[in-house]
């Protein structure tokens, strides 16, 4: 083959190789963009739901300044389980998250029912006290470091108003009646303040957390610890059942 033929073959090969390199580079770039895009994916976050569990003992006896202790007499000195649920609407996402939350809970305790017209005399029946606390809260979560540095700890605080419905039933399951014809049920207003720390579980399995967000729209899942003080004694009103407490809760938080 002549030298001109060899030159033609070499030139054609160089042109084909040069033409193939941009296409291959473009393919790799597209794949990188897909991977990077999947890591950046995050659905809009506007709500949070928190389910908490913790000990609770309503401060019924606090109304009597140590002169009487009816709750301790009839229901004992222990603490029972309080279950709460809270739904937050997150309206601000700058240097943390600000939300307004609406919550409700359930608490019940049983004890020996008293005889209605004889103070300090017990019957053979069981009496049950139920409390359904409801609250409206302003909630702040400092999740700025989670969003910018992937630090999975979120301090948070809550402040708000409370209303707690309560009732006491007799051995037949009816609302108890005292010797003067009064019915053992009512409601008490109050306020609360709380603070705590959330441990975000996304870091344990980032791929599962990404799939959870992409499939169901759940941005974050966390375990929460909260310490709270509630003063549910009527906001200055007299003759109200005192239902506040100072205690702690553990919970599960979903942001979506």
Q: Is the pLDDT of residue 250 over 90?
A: yes
pLDDT band for 79, please (50, 70, 90 cuts): very high
For the chain, give the longest Cα–Cα distance.
126
* Spatial CA neighbour of 253 closest among 97, 98, 50: 50
pLDDT at 166 over 80: yes
Check pLDDT > 60 for residue 116. Answer: no
For residue 10, is pLDDT > 90? no
Name the E strands within the chain.
47-56, 80-92, 97-114, 122-141, 153-169, 185-200, 220-231, 245-255
Closest CA to 130 of 192, 185, 205: 185
State if pTM tops 0.85: no
In angstroms, rounded to a whole number, what is the distance separating the alpha carbons of residues 177 and 171? 12
- Confidence at residue 119, expressed as pLDDT on a 0 to 100 scale: 54
Q: Where is average pLDDT lowest: 119-128, 211-220, 244-253?
A: 119-128
For the segment 138-155, the average pLDDT, to the nearest whole number, is 96
Taking the CB of residue 247, how many other CB atoms lie within 10 A of it? Answer: 16
pLDDT in tens, 182-234: 789 999 999 999 999 999 999 999 999 999 999 999 999 999 999 999 999 99
Percent of the chain's residues with pLDDT above 90: 68
**Each residue of 16-74: pLDDT tens digit?**
344 444 433 333 333 333 334 445 578 999 999 999 999 999 999 998 887 889 899 88
pLDDT at 40: 54
Tell me which DSSP letter residue 150 carries.
-
pLDDT at 178: 72
The predicted-structure confidence for 168-180, as pLDDT tens digits, reads as follows 998 888 898 876 6
Q: What percent of the chain has pLDDT over 70?
A: 79
- In this model, does residue 144 exceed pLDDT 70? yes
* CA distance linking residue 172 with residue 206, whole number of Å: 53
What pLDDT score does 71 carry?
Answer: 93
Looking at every residue in the chain, the average pLDDT score rounds to 84
Asked if the model's pLDDT at residue 3 lies above 50, the reply is: no
């Amino acid at each position: 083959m002549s030298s001109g033929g060899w030159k033609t073959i070499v030139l054609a090969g160089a042109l084909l190789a040069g033409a193939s390199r941009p296409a291959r580079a473009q393919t790799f770039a597209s794949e990188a963009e897909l991977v990077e895009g999947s890591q950046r994916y995050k659905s809009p976050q506007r709500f949070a739901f928190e389910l908490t569990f913790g000990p609770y003992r309503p401060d019924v006896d606090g109304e009597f300044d140590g002169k009487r202790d009816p709750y301790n007499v009839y229901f004992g000195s222990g603490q029972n389980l309080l279950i709460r649920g809270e739904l937050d609407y997150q309206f601000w996402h700058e240097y943390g998250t600000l939300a307004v939350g609406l919550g409700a809970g359930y608490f019940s305790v049983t004890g020996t029912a008293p005889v209605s017209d004889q103070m300090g005399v017990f019957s053979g029946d069981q009496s049950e006290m139920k409390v359904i606390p409801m609250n409206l809260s302003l909630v702040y979560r400092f999740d700025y470091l989670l969003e910018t540095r992937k630090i999975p700890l979120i301090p948070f605080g809550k402040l708000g108003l409370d209303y707690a419905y309560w009732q006491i039933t007799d051995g037949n399951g009816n609302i108890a009646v005292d010797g003067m014809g009064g019915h053992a049920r009512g409601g008490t207003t109050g306020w609360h303040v709380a603070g705590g720390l959330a441990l975000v579980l996304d870091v344990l399995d980032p791929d599962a957390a990404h799939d959870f967000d992409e499939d169901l729209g759940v941005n974050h899942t966390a375990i929460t610890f909260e310490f709270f003080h509630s003063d549910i004694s009527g906001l200055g009103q007299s003759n109200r059942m005192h239902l506040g407490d100072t205690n702690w809760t553990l919970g599960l938080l979903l942001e979506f």
